[in-house]
């Protein structure tokens, strides 16, 4: 009896990595959904989200707007509303002939100190960090071969921002992850519904991120216009779980197609307490994560004041409430363009 108990205790204590090595997942949701979420994520509880990109230069949104209209990282998209506050701000400060792409040269990150950032995150008690490797604007924070002259090495900072932060975060003993937008607002290939956008651009980008930096989280977004079959999500995830260098440790979310939120993938996501346009109710159903900014925007918004930010007491309550209901909290900060 004692021997059996010892064997059972050993099996229960086996790390997820050792167990996962013997499992081969098929490229379909029925198989992929059987993969347990690595234990480290449930134990982590608290992470830091970082929205940083070309949008950090104009850094504008109407803080009194609701939902996505208050998101400064949507500046390029909001510019197209010629009757909206973003276009009025743009014309007043930059002129109507100033293109969004022109902001890239002003995204310098001169004060960026990855070691200092990582130390601050660790001191705050965070256990993981998620950086926007590429938001909906398509600008990459690493030297991505598929985004020539629209990445942080070719233009702007001339630095591998993703790589430098990843190295500093891991050195502090934290887990590093990357946010990645599946779609790009104004990529011609995507707008033309060309299959080469997914197979020749998007999937190679994600594989490059994984193989280059070995992240512990791949936090996808921008999936809502197309089903997961369009994005080749199950094929990519089968590779990620079976053959990638992070197959045992990687954690994913549920944003892999317009039908997958709260249904397929890894942990479920809520944003400012909302999921599918209504109050999130994930407690005790499935591992989930709440994400929101300290203010009303994910990207830095120059228009927000102290009154728009949550107090320390509110942030602590948000963390405790999320964890008590079985979730994690991914709290966002939006650095300025100079870092």
CA-closest candidate to residue 339, choices 115, 143, 130, 176: 115
Helix (H, G, I), strand (E, B) or coil at 54: helix
User: DSSP state, 31?
Assistant: H
E strand or H helix at 116? helix 114-123
163 and 209 Cβ atoms separated by less than 8 Å: no
Taking each helix axis as running N to C, give the angle between helix 203-213 and helix 161-171, from 0 to 180 degrees, rounded to the nearest 10: 40
pTM: 0.92
Q: Which two tokens stand for residue 277?
A: 């346009």
32 and 264 Cβ atoms separated by less than 8 Å: yes
118 and 165 Cβ atoms separated by less than 8 Å: yes
CA-to-CA distance for 49 and 152, rounded, in angstroms?
Answer: 19
Helix (H, G, I), strand (E, B) or coil at 288: strand
Whole-number CA gyration radius for the chain: 20
CA-to-CA distance for 156 and 147, rounded, in angstroms?
Answer: 14
CA-to-CA distance for 126 and 118, rounded, in angstroms?
Answer: 10
CA-closest candidate to residue 101, choices 151, 64, 144: 151
For residue 188, how far is the Cα from the chain centroid?
23
CA-to-CA distance for 205 and 24, rounded, in angstroms?
Answer: 24
Helix (H, G, I), strand (E, B) or coil at 306: helix
Q: What is the dihedral of CA 104, 109, 115, 121, to 10 degrees?
A: -70
| Per-position pLDDT tens, the chain of length 339 | 444 433 433 444 444 444 455 799 999 999 999 999 999 999 999 999 999 999 999 999 999 988 789 999 999 999 999 999 999 999 999 999 999 999 999 999 999 999 999 999 999 999 999 999 999 999 999 999 999 999 999 999 999 999 999 999 999 999 999 999 999 999 999 999 999 999 999 999 999 999 999 999 999 999 999 999 999 999 999 999 999 999 999 999 999 999 999 999 999 999 998 765 555 666 667 999 999 999 999 999 999 999 999 999 999 999 999 999 999 999 999 999 999
- In the sheet that holds 128-134, the strands lie side by side as 251-252, 217-221, 175-181, 128-134, 46-50, 327-333, 288-293, 268-271, 274-275, 278-279
CA-to-CA distance for 272 and 249, rounded, in angstroms?
Answer: 27
Q: How far is CA 142 from CA 72, 75, 178, 280, 289, in A?
A: 21, 21, 11, 33, 26
Q: Which domains does the chain have, with CATH numbers?
A: 46-333 (3.20.20.80)
CA-to-CA distance for 203 and 228, rounded, in angstroms?
Answer: 13
């Amino acid at each position: 009896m004692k021997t059996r108990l010892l064997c059972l205790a050993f099996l229960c204590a086996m790390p997820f990595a050792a167990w996962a090595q013997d499992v081969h997942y098929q490229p379909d949701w029925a198989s992929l959904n059987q993969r347990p979420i690595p234990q480290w994520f449930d134990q982590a509880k608290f992470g830091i989200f970082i929205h940083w990109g070309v949008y950090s230069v104009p850094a504008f949104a109407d803080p009194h707007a609701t939902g996505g209209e208050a998101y400064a990282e949507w500046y390029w998209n909001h510019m197209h509303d010629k009757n909206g506050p973003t276009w009025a701000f743009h014309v007043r400060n930059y002129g109507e002939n100033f293109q969004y792409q022109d902001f890239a040269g002003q995204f310098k990150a001169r004060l960026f100190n990855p070691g200092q950032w990582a130390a601050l995150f660790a001191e705050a008690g965070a256990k993981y960090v998620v950086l926007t490797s590429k938001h909906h604007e398509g600008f990459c924070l690493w030297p991505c071969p598929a985004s020539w002259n629209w990445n942080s090495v070719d233009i702007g900072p001339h630095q591998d921002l993703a790589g430098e932060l990843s190295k500093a975060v891991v050195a502090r003993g934290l887990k590093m992850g990357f946010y990645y937008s599946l779609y790009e607002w104004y990529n011609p290939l995507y707008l033309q519904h060309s299959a080469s956008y997914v197979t020749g651009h998007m999937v190679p980008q994600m594989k490059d991120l994984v193989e280059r930096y070995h992240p512990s989280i791949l936090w996808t977004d921008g999936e809502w216009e197309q089903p997961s079959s369009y994005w080749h999500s199950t094929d990519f995830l089968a590779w990620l779980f079976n053959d990638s260098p992070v197959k045992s440790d990687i954690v994913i979310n549920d944003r892999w197609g317009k039908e997958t939120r709260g249904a397929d993938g890894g942990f479920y996501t809520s944003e400012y307490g909302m999921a599918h346009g209504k109050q999130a109710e994930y407690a005790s159903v499935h591992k989930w994560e709440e994400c929101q900014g300290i203010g009303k925007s994910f990207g830095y918004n120059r228009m927000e004041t102290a009154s728009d930010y949550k107090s320390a007491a509110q942030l602590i309550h948000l963390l405790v409430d999320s964890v008590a209901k079985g979730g994690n909290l991914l709290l966002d900060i939006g650095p300025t363009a100079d870092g």
